[in-house]
Structure 1
Amino acid sequence: MTLPITTTAQVRQSLLDRHEIALLDVREEDPFGQGHPLFAANLPLGRIELDIRSRVPRLDTPIVVYDNGEGLARTAGERLRAIGYTQVSLLQDGLRGWREAGGELFIDVNVPSKSFGELVESQRHTPSLSAEEVKRLLDSSADVVVLDARRFDEYQTMSIPGGTSTPGAELVLRARAQAPNPATQIIVNCAGRTRSIIGTQSLVNAGIPNPVAALRNGTIGWTLAGFALEHGASRRAGTASDPQRAEAAVAARAVADRADVRRADTARLAGFLAESARTTYRFDVRSPEEYLQGHVPGFRNAPGGQLVQETDVSAPVRGARIVLADDDGVRANMSASWLAQMGWEVWVLDGLTADSFSERAPAPPALPAPSRPVQWIAPRALADALAREAPGTTAIIDLTTSANHVKRHIPGAWFVLRTDLPQALARIPRARRYVLTCGSSLLAQYAVDEIAQATGAQVLVLDGGNQAWADAGLPVEAGEQRLASPRTDRYRRPYEGTDNPREAMQAYLDWEFGLVEQLGRDGTHGFRVI
């Protein structure tokens, strides 16, 4: 299959013109995190069938794929064409071509949001306090509350002692309940810088009367100062009263208006969805728990703070339209205000009633059919076969994430990244039969044809995957005993976990400080700060 070529200059022009384009890096996340264009989105080759329709919903979206000479991009383009995408091209000379044409390369993940956060602080001089200053306030029992703007699971891993989980989009809605006395000092933190900057500036923009400051450099700064973190905390921000909720809604709407957020009703939304030449993302920005209790049909859950933090994940089509919904008039408007400043055409869905939130279950993913019919094997049948056959007869290939594999897998299973499949198979002793699995076997079914062609052996898929195996009470093991692929599916973030080297944490902060200058060199961002 012949795929057309798109140059770096053409990609940059599309970004500058705000035309729709999805620039997809089809390597695994670790090499992606080592360097990529500002608006590139990571979609590993091995996950294309699972993720592409939700992330790039329109089949005639202009898609440009690239790698760094690994030979993945052409295969990715062919798979996208087979699924039905009609405007797929290869970036000329891949990442090397981008660099040689003068394109800027950014390290880490979620870079559009992180660089935007640094731009906000540089232009608005977002107030912040050092770890030492915050520690003195806490030690002196000052009138202060610490609000952690990350996801709840991140907060539970490590947090500032006494801090309360208040994910980003919840801050304006719930801060008044956490600090009803306007004299109370509010400290907003995350692990590094971005979410604390955006969270603090959200409260400032919304006009909350309290003094507000970001914890400078987040839990990284706290750790570098030599202070201990709390682990396993479970404090969540309380519910706002009706007057507090109403006050927050008025303030959030005013911020959204200043940012030129647009307003839509259900009729206008229907018109958007009828357009064949535009991509419209629909996001419910409330918490996952609220979303499952009822949401507007067709809307995906993307809690507002994380949506702003991870635009490259949730909306990889730069130039697309975004429509947000909530049931309080706060979270959608505040989230939209930031997305509009980041250059998105963003609308808030107005006029919703309780009846509008009629859908309970998330919409099932739109998945293509596997290229070869799948033959399934039940967990108990596989266990019985393994018990009676000679060792080495069956090879179990586990295509889950490396973190999940190391945590729990079927005894004897080999960890394999589908992106790395040809190389991984060469490292696994030949078998008469291969059984493929992953967490649910949703991904595993797409690797059947590749493995059958590469080995000539019988290939089965474990029905229900690793979860069904464990649910059946069958034995599992943990560890890195059989890694046929390197663990490159996850970029090691210096702000996650509890065992990061001090040098890595400091280097990460130094990198963030340089993002504004790098934005200027890149020149494609289109950001503005109100």
Structure 2
Amino acid sequence: MTSYPVRTYEQVREALLARQEIALLDVREEDPHAQSHPLFAANMPLSRLELDAWSRLPRRSVPIVVFDNGEGFAERAAAKLVDLGYTDVALLDGGLAGWIRAGGEVFRDVNVPSKAFGELVEAKRHTPSLSAQEVKALLDAKDDVVVLDARRFDEYQTMNIPGSISVPGAELALRARALAPDPKTRVIVNCAGRTRSIIGTQSLVNAGLPNPVAALRNGTIGWTLAGQSLEHGARRQFAPGAGLDAGVLSTSREAAAALATRAGVKHVTLAELGAWVDDASRSTYRYDVRTPGEYGHAHLPGFQNAPGGQLVQETEMFAPVRGARVVLFDDDGVRALMTGSWLAQMNVDVYVLAGVTNEDLTARGAWQPQRPLPDATPALSPAALAELVEHGDARVAIINVTSSANHVKAHVPGAFWAMRSDLANALAAIEKEQQPDRYVVVCQTNAIAPYAAPDVASLTGKPVHVVEGGTSAWIREGLPVEAGDTRLASPRTDRYRRPYEGTDNAHEAMNAYLEWEYGLIAQLDRDGTHGFNVV
């Protein structure tokens, strides 16, 4: 077995304090990651490395430290990263347990740097807030109030405050003046919990919005704990032109520029950025912070879509290399500067792209990440697989390697769900139960199945096929599906269940979540590596 260099807790901590580039990667699945991890550990599961590594770790010589908690994933991840071209890969000495033994602070939940930062912002700036009961009283009295939901639109549709409007993240500073043109109108900002409510509200305060502004304290969690009903399936959104009137836009730009300067945001030209992208000594991330629709219509080549609010909420997921440069783009002069102002306060080296014209926006469509070519595996059409399923061929085992949530929602009849990082255990159980003579590997869109299929072939020594287009193609052809959490060959640890997602004791889970968030500032102090500076 190949041996890899080891980096200690002290060495990782020293790099973080010195703002040197380092990617500390937790290669376990999301649920165990959420139970305990270092502050700046980015979750990059072993099962998805080929899909994510080249986008999330753009420089192949970046220092990478991987860890698990004794499951054996770290060594496998290190080998995979080396195969993907990374040249400075090390293991964390002792893994998570070693970090704890050395005195390292560990955190629960996901997107912890951003959530901890949000708590610090509220404590330092005394961000105004109103309780769920106070907001409901205002709404019931038909007071002059508008509620703006700062989450992604799909999250908003799942559950929302009655009457609220979806205005995700960075859109707030651009759109709020148009959505509440009367300065006497009270503006309430909410999210599911606390972070985006706090950051969204403070964004409007920082941007000089003349209206009275407040966060809905504890978001939809607080609303639910107060015994108040939520809406579901709402579709209210800001109008595309909201905030783009010349006079309103000029005011918003001036406020965003002043705030960005105070926070330490810098500017870069396209020519300078071109040199940075080719620089082998620094990592550079490039993000377009506009809406997905605007991005799909036209964007700069090489720029990934990261709507500003989500980039601030999920910073370590978008940019896991701590110490890297981050370059932001918009076409309005507000959203990138506001997003950059928050990232700069989070101790990120952030720049806004200047001097771009519409003629520079030559790329179209959704972001297409660069990925390595998988080993060739024979493919079956959905119709060919349907014929196998219809005949009930017990000698064929179908392995679904999509997310467990996708499997539960809809899967090919008879398919087993297996987590790719757990394939050895899952296949052993399937072999014992079914004794197949061949396997068919499927996922939702045929993204991960081609990488998992060679693993199945290696572990079983049997023929393996993948399904063209995955389960999505199967469904498009009108073929029958099964639903439910049946035939699970792996534990469902691929996703951490949020406290508002139907846990067995939802109220207890929500209260515990809020208590955890309140304690984050003390954890930041004990950890001491964050470098956050609230302006």
* Aligned counterparts, 1:8-23, within 5 A: 8-23=9-24
Deviation at 1:353, TM superposition (A): 1.6
- Picking from 375, 384, 387, the partner of 2:387 is 384
- The correspondence of residues 27-176 of structure 1 with structure 2, limited to 5 A, is 27-176=28-177
C-alpha distance in 2 between matches for 1:362 and 1:159: 27
C-alpha distance in structure 1 between counterparts of 2:315 and 2:463, whole Å: 41
Task: Report which stretch shifted further, 33-42 or 132-141.
Answer: 132-141
Aligned residue in 1 for 2:429 = 427
User: Shift in Å at residue 272 of structure 1?
Assistant: 1.2
The within-5 A match list for 1:124-273 is 124-238=125-239, 239-240=242-243, 241-273=245-277
Q: Please, which moves more after superposition, 231-240 or 489-498?
A: 489-498
Look up the match of 1:333: 337
Aligned match of 2:365: 361
Query: In the TM superposition, what is the alpha-carbon distance from 1:410 to its structure 2 partner?
Result: 0.2
**Cα distance in 1 between the residues matched to 2:427 and 2:352:** 49
Aligned residue type for 2:437: R
Deviations 1:43-77 (A, max 9, x none): 11111111111100111111100000111100110
Match of 1:501 in 2: 506
Aligned partners of 1:206 and 1:255 also within 8 Å: yes
Change (3 A) 1:444 1:219: same
1:319-353 Cα offsets, whole Å, 9 max, x none, are 00000000000100000000000000000001122
| Cα shift at 1:147 | 0.5
Q: How many residues align structurally?
A: 528
Q: Give how far 1:363 is off.
A: 4.7
Q: CA deviation at 1:190?
A: 0.6
Matched, 1:375 2:399: no
- Report deviation, 1:441: 1.6
CA distance in 1, matches of 2:129, 2:365: 41
Q: Which residue of 2 aligns with 1:276?
A: 280
Over 3 Å counting, the alpha-carbon distance change for 1:351 and 1:496 in structure 2 is farther
Deviation at 1:175, TM superposition (A): 0.4
Q: Distance in 2 between matches of 1:49 and 1:343?
A: 29
Q: Which residue does the alignment assign to 2:528? A: 523
Q: 1:499 Cα shift?
A: 7.9
After superposition, the CA RMSD in angstroms is 1.2
Q: Which moved more, 1:472-481 or 1:138-147?
A: 472-481
Question: In structure 1, how many angstroms separate the alpha carbons of the residues matched to 2:274 and 2:45?
Answer: 32
Give % identity: 61
Give yes or no for the alignment of 1:393 onto 2:395: yes
> What is the CA–CA distance in structure 2 between the aligned matches of 1:73 and 1:498, rounded to whole Å?
30
Contact map agreement 2:497 2:503 (CA 8 A) in 1: no
Q: Secondary structure, in 3 states, of the residue corresponding to 1:146?
A: strand
Counterpart residue number, 1:475? 480
1:75-132 deviation digits (Å, cap 9, x = unpaired): 1101111111110010001000000000000000000000000000000000111111
Partner of 1:294: 298
1:102–1:82 CA distance, 2 compared to 1 (3 A)? same
Give the Cα–Cα distance (whole angstroms) in 1 for the partners of residues 203 and 275 of structure 2.
Answer: 31
Shift of 1:495: 3.6
- In 1, the alpha carbon distance for the partners of 2:281 and 2:258 equals 31
Query: SS in structure 1 opposite 2:91?
Result: strand
1:463 CA drift (Å): 1.2
Q: CA deviation at 1:385?
A: 3.1
> 1:436-451 to 2 correspondence within 5 Å?
436-451=441-456
| Structure 1 counterpart of 2:34, one-letter code | G
Structure 1 residues 496 and 207, CA, compared in 2 at 3 Å: closer, same or farther? farther
Amino acid at match of 1:32: H
Q: Secondary structure at the match of 1:168?
A: coil
1:456 counterpart residue number: 461
Please give the alpha-carbon distance, in whole angstroms, between the structure 1 residues aligned to 2:529 and 2:506.
34
Amino acid at match of 1:392: A
Please state whether the residue corresponding to 1:23 is helix, strand or coil.
strand
- Please say if residues 158 and 498 of structure 1, whose CA atoms lie closer than 8 Å, have aligned partners that are also in contact: no
Contact 1:131 1:222 in 2 (8 A): yes
* SS at structure 2 position matched to 1:385: helix
Question: Secondary structure at the residue paired with 1:213?
Answer: strand
Letter of the structure 2 residue corresponding to residue 30 of structure 1:
D
Q: Distance in 1 between matches of 2:314 and 2:385?
A: 39
Q: CA deviation at 1:391?
A: 3.2
SS of the residue corresponding to residue 16 of structure 2 reads helix
Which segments of 5 or more consecutive residues in structure 1 lack a partner in the other structure?
Answer: none
Secondary structure (helix, strand or coil) at the match of 2:192 reads coil
User: 2:160 & 2:153 partners in 1: Cα distance?
Assistant: 10
Rounded to whole Å, the distance in 1 between the matches of 2:503 and 2:255 is: 37
Shift of 1:373: 2.5
Contact kept? 2:269, 2:355, Cα under 8 Å: yes
Q: Which residue identity is paired with 2:102? A: A
The yes-or-no answer on 1:350 pairing with 2:354 is yes
TM-score relative to the length of structure 2: 0.97
CA contact (8 A) 1:408 1:477 kept: yes
The answer to which of 379-388 and 19-28 deviates more is 379-388
Three-state SS of the structure 1 residue aligned to 2:464 is strand
TM-score (norm 1): 0.98
Q: Is the 8 A contact 1:33 1:491 kept in 2?
A: yes
- Cα drift, residue 386 of structure 1: 3.4
- Cα distance, 1:273 vs structure 2: 1.4
Q: Secondary structure at the match of 2:170?
A: helix
CA distance in 2, matches of 1:85, 1:328: 37
Helix, strand or coil for the counterpart of 2:277? helix
Counterpart in the other structure of 2:311: 307
How many Å apart are 1:497 and its aligned residue?
Answer: 5.9
- Amino acid corresponding to residue 386 of structure 2 in structure 1: A
Contact 1:168 1:306 survives alignment (8 Å) = yes
Which ranges of structure 2 fall in alignment gaps of 5 or more residues? Answer: none
Give how far 1:365 is off.
Answer: 2.1
| DSSP-derived class of the 1:521 partner | helix
Which residue is equivalent to 1:490? 495
CA contact (8 A) 1:158 1:497 kept: no
Q: Residues 289 and 12 (structure 1 numbering): CA distance in 2 closer, same or farther, change over 3 Å?
A: same
- How big is the shift at 1:500? 6.1
Cα drift, residue 498 of structure 1? 9.1
Determine the C-alpha separation between the residues in 2 that align with 1:270 and 1:312: 24
Q: How much does 1:234 deviate?
A: 0.9
| Distance in 1 (alpha carbons) for counterparts of 2:489 and 2:246 | 56
Provide the secondary structure at the position in 1 that maps to 2:40: coil
d(CA) in 2 for partners of 1:498, 1:162: 26
Q: Is the 8 A contact 2:145 2:188 kept in 1?
A: yes
Amino acid corresponding to residue 223 of structure 1 in structure 2: T
Question: 1:519 is paired with a residue of what secondary structure?
Answer: helix
SS of the residue 1:355 aligns to: helix
Moved more, 447-456 or 199-208: 447-456
- Cα offsets for 1:430-481 (capped at 9, x unmatched): 2111000101222111122221122111111111111111112221111112
Q: Is the 8 A contact 1:157 1:497 kept in 2?
A: no
Do 1:16 and 1:524's aligned partners in 2 also have CA atoms closer than 8 Å? Answer: yes
The letter for the 1-side match of 2:377 is V
